[in-house]
């Protein structure tokens, strides 16, 4: 069974995002806005079913999937491409493969204490992001 990724997470670091965006052909105007953005991840998980929202002042993105089931991903608002995507769980890590126009595209999430890690990959670029759990009021 996968670990529980549910919660609200704020970005604390973002490494090589510029080159990752370049590999996706994001225009320079958008890149220059996006580089200042510190997105929030809101993850809702029920067993193998996930909704991941990436929220920011300039764009929001939502993806919904079930582990092991390929789905049509429409990356509208990001690079606007379409992919055949599948997410599996491998040793506690969520591993997404995004099959489409871009080679070697995908991402990996894993947990480490109150940190959520994300590696975003496209062609020869890897962007490494870390998020910290937002404590809910009791």
* Interacting residue ranges for ligand VL7, rule: CB under 6 A: 21, 24, 26, 30, 34, 37, 39, 41, 52, 54, 56, 58-61, 63, 78-79, 107, 118, 120
| 7 vs 79, beta carbon nearer ligand VL7 | 79
Shortest Å distance, C-beta 47 to ligand VL7:
18
How far apart, in Å, are the Cα atoms of 62 and each of 42, 52, 55, 92, 137? 9, 6, 9, 22, 25
Give 72 or 137: the residue with its C-beta nearer to ligand VL7.
Answer: 72
For ligand VL7, which residue has the nearest CB?
Answer: 34
- Nearer of residues 7 and 107 to ligand VL7, judged by Cβ: 107
Q: Tell how far CA 105 is from the center of its chain.
A: 12
Three-state secondary structure call for residue 98: strand
- Whether 43 and 134 have beta carbons less than 8 Å apart is answered as no
Query: Least distance (Å) from ligand VL7 to the CB of residue 113?
Result: 18
Residue 138 CB, nearest approach to ligand VL7 (Å): 27
Q: What are the tokens at 71? A: 């789905």
């Amino acid at each position: 069974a996968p670990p529980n990724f549910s919660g609200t997470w704020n970005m604390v670091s973002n490494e090589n995002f510029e080159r990752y965006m370049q590999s996706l052909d994001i225009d320079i105007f958008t890149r220059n806005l996006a580089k200042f953005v510190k997105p929030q991840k809101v993850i809702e998980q029920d067993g193998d079913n996930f909704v991941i929202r990436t929220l920011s002042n300039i764009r929001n993105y939502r993806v919904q999937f079930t582990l092991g089931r390929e789905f049509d991903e429409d990356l509208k608002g990001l690079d606007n491409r379409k992919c055949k995507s599948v997410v599996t769980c491998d040793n506690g890590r969520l591993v997404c493969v995004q099959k489409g126009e871009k080679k070697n595209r995908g991402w990996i999430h894993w947990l480490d204490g109150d940190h959520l890690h994300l590696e975003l990959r496209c062609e020869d670029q890897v962007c490494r992001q870390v998020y910290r759990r937002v404590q809910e009021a009791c």
